[in-house]
Structure 1
Amino acid sequence: MHDRLKSKIAVITGASTGIGLATAKVFAAEGATVYITGRRQAALESAVAEIGHGAMGVQTDSANLDDLDRLYDRVKAEAGRIDVLFANAGGGGLLPLGQITEEQVDDTFGRNVKGVIFTVQKALPLMGKGGSIILTGSTAGSRGTAAFSVYSASKAAVRNLARSWAIDMKGTGIRVNVLSPGPVRTPGLVSLAGDDAVQQQELLDYFVTLIPLGRVGEAEEIAKAALFLASDDASFVNGSELFADGGTAQV
């Protein structure tokens, strides 16, 4: 480790498990003071203990604006600023056209679009020149996926938020980029197949057939890409989409 985030204040939403948790570990090991959020208190406490390095957890539903206010009030009181914001919280489920429900649309867009918009907007007063905003996208936002249209549409929206926000924040010195993973071995991904371990492995095996590298990704690999976007190594990277997908959406 090289202290690439030494003395930085980082906020990572949706970091109780998976990519968010892996990223929090990397950021903390690289010298950042890390605040993480999650909706489940027990999982959040477990993640904080796993991260170490003085990490702090704030129970937050990113689609709830009052929760976001409470999160940022605490960060302001304790740290006074945010240098890196990783708007990672989100999710979605599988339903094909013909079975899509209003509940699914509201939940998916609430978590992946509304939540991202206000996670970023409410953080801006605490951010300044040199700040980095990272939004979690997905290869699903760039290609068709059976029974995944609502989630895919929400991630396509995230990509365009970054494009427009890069223009909105001209002159502030704050960068905004999208990190788009391909299939990654996380609890969120395998849960799409339900609770059966055999079906979960079959889902992973299916994804392998779509990936030129011939394997699914690991959360730690996405975390390293997030570290690049968070650090000064990416000081001239703005409004971009960085794919960490083994080539899935590139061929």
Structure 2
Amino acid sequence: MDNLKNKVVIITGGNSGIGYATAKQLKEQGATVIITGRRKEAIEKVATELGVYAIVADQSRISDIENLVLKVKNDFGTVDILFINAGIAGLGSIEQATEELFDNIIDINFKGAFFTLSRFIPILKDGASVVFLSSNTASMPGPGSSIYSSSKTALNSIMKSAALELAPRKIRVNSVSPDPTETEVMKKVGLDETAVKSIMDIVVEQKVPLKQMGTASDVAKMVSYISSDASKFITGANIIMDGGMVLA
């Protein structure tokens, strides 16, 4: 379990869900893990719990990203694994979409992710791994998810371009696209636990061939795998983890 020993890992949005699970997984494999988030109290609590480092940074603010990179460079030097995980969900029809909702999702999921990669490139170690957290909705958009799906589709496009640009340095860039996954993201868009369970039960029963939901731990293990030497010939790949949902 120590195959990532002494690797320096950055995980944006690391205080809950997939970010938390990945921080735990990579820490157990011997990595030096730094998590980021907007809420100081939340990330510091998780950092203490997991034995990792915490740096406050809002992915929607380029100045925060640049300050984050500077601090990481000063404190840790170079980065071996960059997991761009921070993101938000949002539901609503195109007709009723507000500029506020559009800007909020795009600023974090697309613009913020883009500039996180952009600003970290100079301190990525040659041979490093970059992983974006995408979503299967990029491959199968549906009603009410136009802005969110578009942000993840854009993310996958960045990933492919980055894989080509960074290949001369042997830096691999991939994305992981889960769903449906047991995380808090649905509650964050205003749905209570009962509503979330009802929706997910229907989705799993009608649209997921494996008839089960994924877990944050499943995604964490995949991030670990594609960041390790076991995947040193994989770059520019979007790995869909959805129990066959895109096939159905």
Using the size of structure 1 for normalisation, the TM-score is: 0.95
Question: Is 2:174 the counterpart of 1:177?
Answer: yes
The answer on whether the counterparts of 2:83 and 2:131 sit within 8 Å (CA) in structure 1 is: yes
**One-letter code of the match for 2:218?**
E
Aligned to 2:94: 97
Question: Is 2:143 the counterpart of 1:146?
Answer: yes
- Separation in 2 of the partners of 1:43 and 1:85? 21
- Separation in 1 of the partners of 2:48 and 2:203? 32
**What percent identity do the matched residue pairs reach?**
36
- Separation in 1 of the partners of 2:158 and 2:166? 12
For structure 1, the 5+ residue unaligned runs are: none
**1:76-225 map, 5 Å:** 76-192=73-189, 194=191, 196-209=192-205, 210-225=207-222
Pick the structure with more helix per residue. 2
Aligned to 1:30: 29
**One-letter code of the match for 2:153?**
A
- Separation in 1 of the partners of 2:150 and 2:16? 24
- Separation in 1 of the partners of 2:61 and 2:94? 28
Aligned to 1:45: 44
Instruction: Report the CA distance between 1:73 and its aligned residue.
Output: 1.4
The answer on whether the counterparts of 1:166 and 1:238 sit within 8 Å (CA) in structure 2 is: yes
**1:209-248 map, 5 Å:** 209=205, 210-248=207-245
For structure 2, the 5+ residue unaligned runs are: none
Q: Secondary structure at the match of 1:5?
A: coil
- Separation in 1 of the partners of 2:188 and 2:142? 17
The C-alpha deviation readout for 1:11-51, integer Å capped at 9, x for no partner, is: 00011100011000001000100000111112112211222
Instruction: Report the CA distance between 1:189 and its aligned residue.
Output: 2.6
Instruction: Report the CA distance between 1:63 and its aligned residue.
Output: 1.4
Pick the structure with more strand per residue. 2
The C-alpha deviation readout for 1:97-123, integer Å capped at 9, x for no partner, is: 211111111111111110111100111
Q: Secondary structure at the match of 1:238?
A: coil
**One-letter code of the match for 1:231?**
S
- Separation in 2 of the partners of 1:190 and 1:205? 15
Using the size of structure 2 for normalisation, the TM-score is: 0.96
Q: Secondary structure at the match of 2:176?
A: strand
Q: Secondary structure at the match of 1:145?
A: coil
Instruction: Report the CA distance between 1:239 and its aligned residue.
Output: 0.4
**1:57-68 map, 5 Å:** 57-68=54-65
- Separation in 2 of the partners of 1:136 and 1:197? 24
Aligned to 2:11: 12
Instruction: Report the CA distance between 1:200 and its aligned residue.
Output: 2.0
Q: In terms of mean alpha carbon deviation, does 200-209 or 113-122 score higher? A: 200-209
**One-letter code of the match for 1:113?**
F
**One-letter code of the match for 1:41?**
K
- Separation in 1 of the partners of 2:82 and 2:14? 12
- Separation in 2 of the partners of 1:250 and 1:238? 23
**One-letter code of the match for 2:61?**
N
The answer on whether the counterparts of 1:86 and 1:133 sit within 8 Å (CA) in structure 2 is: yes
Instruction: Report the CA distance between 1:193 and its aligned residue.
Output: 5.2
The answer on whether the counterparts of 1:62 and 1:119 sit within 8 Å (CA) in structure 2 is: yes
The C-alpha deviation readout for 1:37-93, integer Å capped at 9, x for no partner, is: 1111121122112222xx111111111111112211111111101000000111121
Aligned to 1:71: 68
Instruction: Report the CA distance between 1:170 and its aligned residue.
Output: 2.8
Instruction: Report the CA distance between 1:191 and its aligned residue.
Output: 3.3
